[in-house]
């Protein structure tokens, strides 16, 4: 975990955990964090938690569970509002959550998060894409990030979680921000993509980190239920497996603390029995 008294090091190492989906997702985090802490020695674990409580939203119990697992900073998405009033959460707790900054419902406390790691500031921002999302509360994420970057200390490592359906929107944002932020990581679709890369001006990028949840499943949900939905064109109630294998998807990032560019990006994937 970050040590605020340590001298500044040459780089910041981050493991960003993809969408944590339900009870099996939380179990996967609990099992993988100590293993990856020993293997990769990251300075911080960050996780997308919009699906933390039964695949939609968060609760105090599930937040405390993920905190006790060793994850200290969190990002959200379009489902972060489903189970608990986020404004109330902001007033009553000190969890470091970056909710979608371009969602009109996001409290100021959750517009972005800042943490000092070994003498270097890390800023984490969450944005929600608009293409195919069917959400009414979203402003333009491109214009919102421009606005935020005007007020953020330029001598910071800046990580963006773009929670979006369309890969075109994610890639457009990454190219738009290339050289202005340290990394742009896609979330939301739960399916990892094979395009982890460092863009021309030094911004790390991946279209989707993937999820942490039931394996095999369809986006963390019991596969038979989703298959039935496509066969019958009917509404279904989501059911999540409570036992079995767990897939864990994450990104390992190394950011140069002098130029604030990504020096290494690697997708991590493990199946836990």
Q: Which of 70, 27, 72, 21 is nearest to 50 (CA)?
A: 21
Q: Are 208 and 189 in contact (CB under 8 A)?
A: yes
Angle value at C-alpha 116, between 102 and 100, nearest 5 degrees:
10
Do 21 and 211 meet the contact criterion of CB atoms below 8 Å apart?
A: yes
- Is 188 annotated as catalytic? no
Q: Which residue in the list 54, 79, 163, 260 is annotated as catalytic?
A: 79
Q: How far apart are CA 143 and CA 123, in angstroms?
A: 18
Three-state SS at 214: strand
Specify the residue for token string 């999302």.
133
For the chain, the first-to-last Cα distance in angstroms comes to 27
Q: Where are the beta strands (DSSP E) in 144-203?
A: 157-163, 183-187, 197-198
**Cα–Cα distance, 170 to 67 (Å, whole number):** 28
- From 217, 182, 186, 216, select the one nearest 199 (Cα to Cα): 182
Measured CA to CA, the distance from residue 77 to residue 208 in angstroms comes to: 13
**Selection from 179, 169, 170, 172 nearest residue 204 by Cα:** 179
Residues designated as active site: 79
């Amino acid at each position: 975990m970050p040590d605020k008294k340590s001298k500044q090091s040459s780089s910041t190492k981050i493991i960003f955990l993809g969408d944590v989906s339900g009870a099996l997702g939380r179990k996967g985090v609990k099992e993988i964090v100590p293993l990856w802490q020993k293997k990769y020695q990251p300075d911080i674990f960050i996780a997308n938690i919009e699906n933390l409580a039964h695949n939609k939203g968060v609760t105090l119990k599930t937040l405390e569970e993920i905190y006790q697992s060793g994850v200290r900073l969190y990002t959200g998405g379009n489902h972060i509002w489903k189970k608990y009033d986020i404004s109330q959460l902001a007033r009553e707790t000190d969890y470091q959550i970056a909710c979608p900054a371009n969602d009109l419902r996001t409290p100021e406390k959750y517009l972005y998060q800042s943490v000092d790691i070994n003498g270097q500031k890390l800023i984490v921002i969450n944005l929600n894409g608009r293409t195919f999302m069917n959400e009414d509360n979203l402003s333009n994420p491109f214009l919102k990030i421009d606005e935020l970057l005007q007020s953020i200390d330029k001598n910071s490592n800046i990580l963006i979680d773009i929670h979006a359906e369309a890969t075109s929107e994610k890639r457009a944002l990454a190219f738009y921000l290339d050289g202005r932020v340290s990394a742009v990581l896609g979330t939301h679709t739960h399916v990892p993509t094979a395009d982890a890369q460092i863009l021309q001006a030094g911004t790390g990028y991946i279209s989707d980190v993937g999820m942490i949840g039931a394996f095999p499943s369809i986006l963390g949900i019991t596969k038979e239920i989703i298959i039935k939905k496509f066969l019958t064109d009917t509404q279904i109630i989501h059911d999540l497996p409570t036992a079995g294998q767990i897939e864990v998807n994450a990104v390992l990032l190394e950011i140069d603390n002098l130029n604030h560019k990504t020096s290494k990006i690697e997708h991590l994937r493990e199946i836990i029995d």
